Structure 1
Amino acid sequence: MSGFETMIPMAVTAVSTVAGAAGKASAAEKSAAAQAEAQARQNQMILSRQAAEEQQQRDLLAKASATQRARMGASGMGGAGGSAAAILAGMSGDTAESIAASAQSSALKLRGASSSAGSGSNLLDLATAGNSGLSVFKSFYEAMD
């Protein structure tokens, strides 16, 4: 009977080891799912912030263009053709470049966030990077007033 008595504790140990491994795998799966969900929320936040900045830049362009047209009209320059068209086209080009730079910055944030998931990057670094285009355009518009 001594052989049977040693077999029972070994069987119980083997069963508990298998159950423990299954529990660890389940915890790892839950952790991976939580990380994936957090990454998806972060990506959505980056995309929505980028869309809001783009809309804000387009709104500022519309205001700046209207202001510039009014100034040119008040000074006797027509708003269609010549210097007026060149000025407005330049403003539109600057805004398009700023929007493209912002989109590129957002793409880099998304790529960096997905490649460094869990590597210690924080949201503050991502939130403060790449906002120079909008602030430059704001200062341009404020200088026109």
Structure 2
Amino acid sequence: MTSGNTEGFAVAVVHEDGKWKCSLLAAELLDDLDGVITALRRVAATGAVFGLLAVDDEFFVIVRPVPGGASLVLSDATAALDYDIAADVLDLLHLPTPDEDDLDEDPWPEGDLALLADFGMSEQEMHVVIDEDDLYPDEQLTMIAQRCGFGDQFARLVEKS
């Protein structure tokens, strides 16, 4: 399992008054799902707030706080064998961690693939992006950001990180 030296980025995205705002979250949150959820809940906004995490060029996580919990997407469930944050996503989804035999299969996503449908990213489109296994997680998240309408802001922020 990971131990605090995870590479990647975590971005908080806010949609308020018809405008998008993206900001980086602390890098140490890449190992801390509860910390990500807490940080997103602390964002002062009257509109939607969600987080996009790219982890070690391996997988991505989308976190959208909702009353009583969080709506989640994990792009590769088998990542839970090596990454605490992926295992925590499956735990919150009440799904078992895959076993070593599952590594022989193609990776599969888990969670609410329609969690960004209200911003134009349907469940089917999310599947298409996740199935693009030639792309790194940051590239997949950039596609999602473009589809939702905040791609330029997202790309500028990620380039700086």
Q: TM-score, normalised by structure 2?
A: 0.25
Greater share of helix residues, 1 or 2? 1
Greater share of strand residues, 1 or 2? 2
Q: Which has the larger radius of gyration?
A: 1
Q: TM-score, normalised by structure 1?
A: 0.27
